[in-house]
Amino acid sequence: QVHLVQSGAEVRKPGSSVKVSCKASGGTFSSYTINWVRQAPGQGFEWMGGIIPILGTPKYTQNFQGRLTITTDESTSTAYMDLNSLRSEDTAIYYCAVSATYYGKFDFWGQGTLVTVSS
Amino acid sequence: AIQLTQSPSSLSASVGDRVTITCRASQGVSTALAWYQQKPGKVPKILIYDASTLESGVPSRFSGSGFGTEFTLSISSLQPEDFATYFCQQFHSIPPLTFGQGTRLE
C-alpha cells in the first residue's frame, strides 16, 4: 500500500509559477511511475506527465511542453510538479498518482492540491 | 493522442437498475483500459483494469468488457453508493495517457 500526501493549496498570479510536492510512503518509490494529472472545475482529467524515479527521464504531454518540469527526490520519496507561466486556465486540482506498472493504471492517488491562478 | 469518448455523458437511473456506460477509443488500445469512480470532493477509485479485471475489493456487481476501440462498464444492480461519476482511461499509447470526459450517474 502506498500513501501519497501532497502539499497544500496555492494561489498564484498569472505569469508566475507553482511547485506542488507529493510525498510517498510505503512501497518502492524508485520503481513506481509517478503521474501528475489535473482536473479543472467541473471537467475531466488531463494527464500532464510522469516519471519513474529509477529511470529519471520524465514524459510530458505536448500541451505542457516547456512549462512543466517533473522531478523526484529519492532520498525523501517525494515527487514535484513545477508549472510556470501560469494562466487562469491552469486553475485546477492537481493530483499525483502512482502506477505500480510502467505508465499503467493509477493504483494510488494523492489527496489533490488546488491551484488557483488569479490576478 | 488517443481520444476516449464516453457515452452517455449523464445517466439517470434508480436503485436496482442495471446500467451500462460505453467508452470508445479513437485508435485501438488492446485491453489497456481502466475504469474509475469519483464521488464529489473525493479522489478517484479504480474499479476495473485491463478492460475486464475487477480491482481487489470492488463489488462484483461492477464488470467491464471490450477490446480494441469499444469498451463497456456495467453495474448489475445499482446501489445508493454507486451514484457518482465514472471515467475511463487508456494506458496503451503514451504519452499521453488519456481519459474519457466522464459519465455522471444520477
pLDDT one-digit tens code per residue, B42-60: 999 999 999 999 999 999 9
CB A86 within 8 A of CB A15: yes
Residues in chain B: 106
List the single best residue of B50, B53, B97, B99 to mutate versus A (max A Cβ within 10 A).
B97
Interface of A with B in 72-101 (CB under 8 A): 95, 99
Picking from B91, B96, B102, the nearest residue to A44 by CB comes out as B102
Distance CA A89, CA A41 (A): 10
pLDDT band at residue B94, thresholds of 50, 70 and 90? confident
Residues in chain A: 119
Does the CB of A108 have a partner CB in chain B at under 8 Å?
no
Whole-number average pLDDT of chain B:
96
Given this model, what pLDDT does residue A109 score? 96
Q: Which chain A residues are within 8 Å of B97, Cβ to Cβ?
A: 35, 47, 50, 103
Distance CA A117, CA A31 (A): 33
pLDDT digits (tens, 9 = 90+) for A18-57: 999 999 998 889 999 999 999 999 899 999 999 999 998 9
Distance CA B7, CA B22 (A): 5
Given this model, what pLDDT does residue A1 score? 86
- The secondary structure of chain A as a DSSP string is --EEEE---EEE-TT--EEEEEEEESS-GGGSEEEEEEE-TT--EEEEEEE-TTT---EE-GGGTTTEEEEEETTTTEEEEEE-S--GGG-EEEEEEEESSTT----EE---EEEEE--
| Residue the block writes with cell 519513474 | A52
Picking from B49, B98, B100, the nearest residue to A47 by CB comes out as B98
- Which set of grid coordinates corresponds to residue A35? 503521474
Q: Is the peptide bond before B95 cis (omega within 30 degrees of 0)?
A: yes
